Structure 1
């Protein structure tokens, strides 16, 4: 049995002013990660909480970047009420049971860890941040077929998703285009001490932890890992595949740890039915803005140990290679053909002709690939019940605008709470059912200074509803 030690440090991110209003801090340690296989919450005997997940890396295998005998953890801890800057935690691990023991102070609890991946469906993995009340199947089709064309594989985290869209995504998963993964809300089966509600006190649905989990899952398996949202789509400009495009950039700067692609705002007109969906028409309708927002990264995983929503805060800036062109096609504003599209009035932006390179031969190949899928009988059955109009998108957009985008990005007035979707009022409809991630939740015995809570046996639930 070998002993491991992780030193955790926390600091306010100067690039994200709202983090100071959140009741959590992500660990600043370069070797702390997050895994959906485990939720281990630490509840202090006084008000406060922490949350831990981990992936177990086989002790018998030599790792490319972590070294031998590696255990990876990430933490979200109540840094608002507790001084955790110099906290030290110890881990005891055994290679006989493929379990690891997390030790804090004098209490110990046996925790089931998840094994990391040692093979990848593609050299390039695209990690998609957690989806909730997801209904934009047109955006998914645009992204999944584009990624497939250029040799990428989507790994999508799901909190909740409209049932018919879920069925469509599951079929794409079955045919090897993508992988679906659970992203669970933190729940406590039993707690005898007070605590701050964690889901409402972590920024943006804990996206940073999901992206870091994806990094760790594929860290020893993929050549490159991208951290995008569903509406961030990359069209390579100079080469036929993502792999060739990224290889060429690393030849220019061999010591680079990541490539930073800016996100250019776009709008497009989306089809109302699957039978009327055309990739060619979608691209023709794309209009570009002059606005290029803060970017997202593609990383060489052997040189990256943790990340944030946009990039790691612990990366040497001199090794972050900025890509001026192409930019990510950020399709945050899909337009309905027969709608007033009120969100365009809420957040006004000027759009002009398409200002990104999308090759005609790629458009034709993607269109052909889509038609191959569309003509399958199982897809045609799902198509009959896919939503034809938006319901949750304008609700969430308005909520996000009020909570973050409007005051910070437009009016510059600032807010005084933690930005996340727990602020959004999501109405339920009898004719609009969602699939939600769920699990079995467990609580250990009440101990001081920490009580341990965890989950296992993640599953898809059809009974929870359309919530974050």
Structure 2
């Protein structure tokens, strides 16, 4: 059977709308198909879900929850000496109502002393707050010295009137003071604690170079000193040219039992604590802080002041933590009579030695809250966050290549009539330019002669030391204790505690000394640390030239 399809094209036919067939059934009446889930699939799904939840609970949730403080293993009951406590109503780096405490603490108190926290209580007229203070140190935790500089820092309440330490319900009040908010100069030099000091010529060089011409204020710490030398410094202090602070021998007046003697088991009378105290004292008042020994002389190069040189070397960079200057050893002359002093003669008759000592740092105080005796151990390879969202930058000390410290390591006496003319030495940094200009050297000498002509200073001429006594004893003792080890490159801090407290210092009846002293206090016995401190510090002429 054959079928044929005829397509008829209609012309001029009207346009027709599509025709929709009516629905003959409802959706509800459509046939439903059931999906059957296999039991094994259900088991597998549940196992995966349980494992996923366990992973989240193990790895993810703990990171979202507040982390508990690690438990600090405490080893023994120890003693701590509080050198100073500062209260900062306002601070550029510590924040508002900040507390900073400088201590000499036995780091063997705990497995890691910087993980331990102490409770501090601040009280004003209307409130009383308790907060934990974090501990930091400038010494390596594996140092052989048992005692170290430890600083405690926290923030409490405004208008604080009383500060206390709390441990297991036992309280001890701590005297505190506010830092300086004004200084005579924009730069302060923190000079290491002086003991059995007698070489007054270095003080004259340091002060008249740094203070009178290049704009730095001297902050001295004194343990013991020949009395006439001390009187000379006091005359300069009366004129506002230097500040003097007693640096106290560490004492634990009252204890419940035996303890490790701190002065023999801390690095060099804890100079780092003195430098940290100075940094905290001036951190809100000056633009730069220098860490120096009395015989470390820095002369700016291609600048008229320290401020100008330091600003130039920092160049506004946040990546420079501190400026570091190498320390070059020199030998030079000195004369015994006060009226014959000439800084020009000392500089022009200097001869550079082959040895070189560890350098010193100069820093912006708002970037540090503590420092070691040469530089802050926090000045290298430390990440710094300028904003919470920004990736950190890394701090690094900058070695200043064009300048160096003129270190008066050895000075020997010559007759005033036999002083050679000499010549200006070259700058030890670049070995090309002169160390100092003739113009500046003349200005310094003129100022020196003017000061020495004052009757109150000129009258001290006959009583000042005119020979080396303690200098030779101390140098010999230091050499036997650690210098000879250092010079052979075998001085390791985890093996040797750099300390010379056992040096025997004979006393001279014809050359009496003053020594720092105070009223010492012991707090109640606490676990794990009992605290001691001093008040009403002064200088006594009844102790002698000891450390």
- What TM-score range do you get, normalising by the shorter chain? 0.7 to 0.9
1:79 is displaced (CA, Å) by: 2.4
3-state secondary structure, aligned to 1:423? coil
RMSD: 2.4
Question: For 1:405, what is the secondary structure of its paired residue?
Answer: helix
Q: Is 2:440 the counterpart of 1:440? A: no
Which one is further off, 185-194 or 323-332?
Answer: 185-194
* 1:419 match: 498
1:90 to 119, 134, 138: 119
Change (3 A) 1:162 1:191: same
How many residues align? The count is: 414
Quickly say closer, same or farther: Cα 1:276–1:117, change in 2 above 3 A.
Answer: same
**Number of the residue aligned with 2:307:** 243
CA distance in 1, matches of 2:99, 2:523: 22
- Please state whether the residue corresponding to 2:401 is helix, strand or coil: strand
Q: Paired residue for 1:129, among 167, 178, 192? A: 192
1:69 matched to 2:132? The reply is no
Specify the alignment match of 1:361 in structure 2.
Answer: 439
1:283 Cα shift? Answer: 1.1
Q: In 2, distance between residues paired with 1:403 and 1:462?
A: 28
Structure 1 stretches of 5 or more lacking a match? 1-6, 11-43, 339-351
Question: Residue 50 of structure 1: CA displacement?
Answer: 2.6
Secondary structure at the aligned position of 1:439 is classed as strand
Change (3 A) 1:413 1:457: closer
Tell which deviates more after alignment, 374-383 or 96-105: 96-105
Residue in 2 aligned with 1:454?
Answer: 533
Asked if the contact 2:79–2:531 (Cα under 8 Å) also holds between the matched residues in 1, the reply is no
Alignment of 1:150-165 (within 5 A): 150-165=214-229
1:335: how far off? 1.6
Alpha-carbon distance, 1:262 to partner: 0.5
Q: CA deviation at 1:463?
A: 0.3
State the alpha-carbon separation in 1 of the partners of residues 272 and 322 from structure 2.
16
* 1:118 corresponds to: 181
Within 2, Cα distance between the matches of 1:250 and 1:228? 19
The structure having more radius of gyration, on CA atoms, is: 2
1:140 and 2:203 are equivalent in the alignment: yes
Higher mean Cα deviation, 98-107 or 414-423? 414-423
| Partner Cα separation in structure 2 for residue 58 and residue 143 of structure 1 | 31
How far did 1:81 drift?
6.2
Deviation at 1:353, TM superposition (A): 8.2
Corresponding residue for 1:301?
A: 365
Please name the residue that 1:25 is paired with.
none
Rounded Cα–Cα distance in structure 2 between residues aligned with 1:363 and 1:243: 19
Match of 1:388?
466
**Shift in alpha-carbon separation, 1:447–1:145, aligned structure 2, 3 A:** same
1:397 aligns with 2:466: no
Q: Could you list the per-position Cα deviations for residues 77-121 of structure 1 after superposition, in whole angstroms to 9, with x for gaps in the alignment?
A: 222464243211121213445331122343211111121111111
Alpha carbons 2:75, 2:111 under 8 Å: kept: no
What secondary structure is seen at the aligned counterpart in 1 of 2:463? Answer: coil
2:396 aligns with one of 295, 319, 322: 319
Correspondence for 2:80: 50
In 2, distance between residues paired with 1:116 and 1:418?
32
SS of residue matched to 1:396: helix
**Preserved CA contact (<8 Å) 1:45 1:193:** no
**1: distance between equivalents of 2:260 and 2:371?**
25
Give the conservation status (yes or no) of the 8 Å contact 1:395–1:426: yes
Match of 2:164 in 1: 101
Do the aligned partners of residues 379 and 450 (structure 1) sit closer, same or farther apart at CA in structure 2, a change above 3 Å counting? same
1:411–1:116 CA distance, 2 compared to 1 (3 A): closer
With over 3 angstroms needed to count, the CA separation of the structure-2 counterparts of 1:413 and 1:280, relative to structure 1, is closer
Equivalent in the alignment of 2:409: 332
Among residues 456, 465, 468, which one is paired with 2:544 in the alignment? Answer: 465
Which secondary structure does the structure 2 equivalent of 1:429 belong to?
A: coil
Distance apart, 1:264 and its partner CA: 0.6
Q: Structure 1 162/54 Cα, relative in aligned 2: closer, same or farther at 3 Å? A: closer
Q: What is the TM-score with the length of structure 2 in the denominator?
A: 0.72
Deviations 1:197-228 (A, max 9, x none): 11111111100000000000001111100000
In 1: Cα distance, 2:100 partner to 2:413 partner: 44
Structure 1 position 407 matched with structure 2 position 509 = no
1:45 and 1:455 map into 2 onto residues whose CA distance is: 27
Question: Partners of 1:118 and 1:172 in 2: how far apart?
Answer: 22
The C-alpha deviation readout for 1:229-288, integer Å capped at 9, x for no partner, is 001110000110111111111216454221000001111101111122111111111111
Give the structure, 1 or 2, with the largest relative contact order (CA under 8 Å, sep 6 or more): 1
Spell out structure 1 runs of 4+ moving beyond 4 A.
Answer: 44-47, 413-417
Kindly indicate whether residue 494 of structure 2 is the aligned counterpart of residue 431 of structure 1.
Answer: no
Distance 1:461 1:325 in 2: 44
Bigger shift: residues 90-99 or 409-418: 409-418
